[in-house]
Amino acid sequence: MARGRSAGGRDFSARGTLLGGVLLVAAALLASGCGRVIRAERPVQVTPRPVEVVEGEGVFRLTARVPYWMPGEEPGGETGEGTVAGMKAVGEAFVELLTPCFGQPPVRAERLPERGGIRFEICDTLDAGAYCLEVTREGIGIRSGDAAGAFYAVQTLRQLLPPAAFSPGGPVRAVEIPEVRIVDRPCMAYRGLMLDVARHFFTVDEVKRTIDLMALHKMNVFHWHLTDDQGWRIEIRRYPELTRVGSVRRRTLIGKDPGGEYDESCRYDETPYGGYYTQEQIREVVDYAARRFITVIPEIEFPGHAVAALASYPWLSCTGELYEVRQTWDIDDRVFCPGRESTFEFIEGVLSEVLELFPSEYIHIGGDECPTKMWARCGHCQARMRTEGIDDLRGLQGYATARVERFLQAHGRQLIGWDEILESGVTPTAVVMSWRGTEGGVRAARQGNRVVMSPSTYCYFDYYQTEDTASEPLAWGGCLPLEKVYAFDPYEGLDERERACVLGVQANLWTEYIPDFGQAQYMLLPRLSALAEVGWSLDRKDPADYRRRLARLARCYDAAGFHYARHGFGE
Ligand code: TNX
């Protein structure tokens, strides 16, 4: 895991004389007329940390006229249909990156240039997601195991470009990139971020910006929490009331939840609050994410966190009472009735449309925080328990989850649930998302279930980022500073066989106290970079080095116009 000038690396010793360099620069400036030339920045600092960075002394001078070459549709150039589509997306990302620098898109070469230029190449010897990026004085070579690897190389290139190249002041004539060889690959296959759009709604553009943020950090799973007590946010054609009724709450709590909707101390903003995504918009987001090598996993909460659904269709609850969409944030007793057949018809109907929209292997069905109080008093639930031989109420949740899992599997999909699903007799094939610490994940991995580690102690970005909470916007509680996220070890307490069950890690952004996208970014950044480093660079983490790189990354955030917290920058 060498970083810096390694003896085994390329020889980058200076070839030209200083005088030669000066003359060349002068000649280039004369040839180009006016226009800025943005100098290379050193040392090269990339986050998440690559396996190897070997820096040379020269620079490559990139202009709008340098052609780039992509393996694509030309005969013999492709390595499979998926790769062609993937490389097209990489090409788009590359063009999108450079266009603002030069005020014009880079040109695509018709055939592989004999020398120089920017060359992308797929290489069988590299793993999926892995790449090798080489900048020499002549050009840039990007070899990767697949299209995703090439995309990650483009993200690295973003961090090699001097941020000044993106600053206002008009397009630049040329940018210098340091001579460097970077070898890189992800440690974990699943590097996720969950966004809760139920408690507060985020527009399609804001969701896309969140996906951009993930792409910048080489993350690859966007978990979209689409339904909860306080709002149903996905259009389901079979059940139009879900969005007509369930997407709007009459009012929203102001300030901290005192622990109950009917508590006298509750104060409300009386403005109705709502929003949902049409199926067309969902497709647009899924496609946008796919072009950034990000899979979208939808979450439809079942059987708890269901009040918005019950408010839309009262026959989904045990009592059939008419409810309102929730206006406060604590756990609610009003959940789906697993005693009635109609509940399963409903959830399967919903999931049928969900499966059409989301091609992801995994579908999240929630499963967290589901009180059984109503089931205890419900004749349908009691009858179900008798006929199915279920002897405790929690077992009823296990029955409901297993039934939904069978439905998903019949459609070629896998079920993910929060770690509560372990308590109701989980099947061996379900994926467990561990949030109440890592204990659930450890237990699940010991029994051979696949796991995503997302413990609140390290991954809950709705927690404060400093002890000094008085100077912060209101948050859920807890304290999760940047350093702690960075220190997360998702493999702690697991032997090698159990580690193989851990798919990866995920940050969660619950939005009870995050009313707008500016604040969402503030809570996400820079903590997301620390979690990205856990997922991507777990075997080569180095806190001091991360801190140095963070300052550079922040300038990338500036260049991309992201809002971020300054804790951890010594400001
Ligand atoms: C627990 S994490 C929840 C969410 C809340 C969150 C607040 C999980 C599966 N359930 O409903 O928003 O705590 O931190």
For residues 105 and 170, membership in a common domain is answered with: yes
418 lines ligand 1 (CB under 6 A): yes
Strand partners, 267: 254
Residue type for position 135: V
pLDDT at 34 over 80: no
510 lines ligand 1 (CB under 6 A): yes
Residue 301 lies in a domain: yes
Residue 30 lies in a domain: no
Residue 423 lies in a domain: yes
The residue to mutate among 369, 418, 434, 523, having the most atoms of ligand 1 within 8 angstroms of its beta carbon, is 369
Q: Rounded distance, CA 111 to CA 88, Å?
A: 16
For residues 204 and 279, membership in a common domain is answered with: yes
369 lines ligand 1 (CB under 6 A): yes
Instruction: Report the relative pairing of strands 477-479 and 463-464 from DSSP bridges.
Output: parallel
Q: What is the mean pLDDT of the chain?
A: 92
* Domain, as residue range, for 104: 37-184
Stretch 174-193: mean pLDDT, rounded?
A: 98
> Which ligand 1 atom is the nearest neighbour of the CA of 436?
2
Stretch 308-324: mean pLDDT, rounded?
A: 98
Token pair recorded at residue 217:
């950090």
At residue 82, the pLDDT reads 73
Ligand 1 centroid – CA 251 distance (Å): 21
Of 163, 184, 205, the residue that ends a domain is 184
Q: What are phi and psi of 54, to 5 degrees?
A: -120, 110
pLDDT at 201 over 60: yes
Residue 362 lies in a domain: yes
Determine which residue's CA is closest to atom 6 belonging to ligand 1: 510
Q: Mean pLDDT highest for which of 23-27, 37-41, 508-512?
A: 508-512
Ligand 1 centroid – CA 510 distance (Å): 7
Please tell me the pTM assigned to this model. 0.92
Burial code (b: 16+ CB inside 10 Å, e: under 16) for 135-174 equals: bbeebbbbbbbbbbbbbbbbbbbbbbbbbbbbeeeeebbb
Residue 112 lies in a domain: yes
> Which ligand 1 atom is the nearest neighbour of the CA of 331?
11
Token pair recorded at residue 486:
């960075």
Q: Rounded distance, CA 500 to CA 497, Å?
A: 5
Token pair recorded at residue 402:
């297993």
pLDDT at 30 over 60: no
Confirm if 178 and 41 have CB atoms less than 8 A apart.
yes
How does pLDDT run across 390-426, given as a tens digit for each residue?
999 999 999 999 999 999 999 999 999 999 999 988 8
For residues 131 and 220, membership in a common domain is answered with: no
Lowest mean pLDDT among 3-17, 220-234, 266-280, 465-479: 3-17
- In degrees, rounded to 5, the angle at the alpha carbon of residue 326 between the alpha carbons of residues 321 and 328 is 140
Of 169, 184, 199, the residue that ends a domain is 184
pLDDT at 71 over 50: yes
> Which ligand 1 atom is the nearest neighbour of the CA of 369?
10
User: Where are any strands of DSSP class E within 98-157?
Assistant: 117-122, 131-135, 139-144
For residues 492 and 459, membership in a common domain is answered with: yes
For residues 222 and 84, membership in a common domain is answered with: no
Residue 137 lies in a domain: yes
For residues 180 and 201, membership in a common domain is answered with: no
Residue type for position 201: F
Burial code (b: 16+ CB inside 10 Å, e: under 16) for 340-357 equals: beebbebbeebbebbbeb
Determine which residue's CA is closest to atom 10 belonging to ligand 1: 368
> Which ligand 1 atom is the nearest neighbour of the CA of 435?
2
Strand partners, 504: 190, 452
Residue type for position 341: E
Give me the CATH number covering residue 75.
3.30.379.10
For residues 43 and 88, membership in a common domain is answered with: yes
Determine which residue's CA is closest to atom 12 belonging to ligand 1: 510
3-state SS, residue 198: coil
How does pLDDT run across 342-369, given as a tens digit for each residue?
999 999 999 999 999 999 999 999 999 9
User: Structural domain tally of the chain?
Assistant: 2
Residue 32 lies in a domain: no
Residue 161 to residues 37, 295, 449, 459, Cα–Cα distance (Å): 12, 27, 42, 30
Minimal CA–CA distance to 371: which of 301, 425, 315, 303? 303
Give the sign of the dihedral formed by CA 73, CA 79, CA 85, CA 87: negative
Lowest mean pLDDT among 19-33, 300-314, 541-555: 19-33
Counting Cβ atoms within 10 Å, is residue 90 exposed (0-12), middle (13-18) or buried (19+)?
A: buried
At residue 14, the pLDDT reads 42
Token pair recorded at residue 306:
């269901």
For residues 173 and 196, membership in a common domain is answered with: no
Q: Rounded distance, CA 301 to CA 418, Å?
A: 10
How does pLDDT run across 143-169, given as a tens digit for each residue?
999 999 999 999 999 999 998 888 777
462 lines ligand 1 (CB under 6 A): yes
Ligand 1 centroid – CA 562 distance (Å): 26
Counting Cβ atoms within 10 Å, is residue 504 exposed (0-12), middle (13-18) or buried (19+)?
A: buried
464 lines ligand 1 (CB under 6 A): no
For residues 180 and 210, membership in a common domain is answered with: no
Confirm if 398 and 430 have CB atoms less than 8 A apart.
no
Ligand 1 centroid – CA 142 distance (Å): 41
Residue 329 lies in a domain: yes
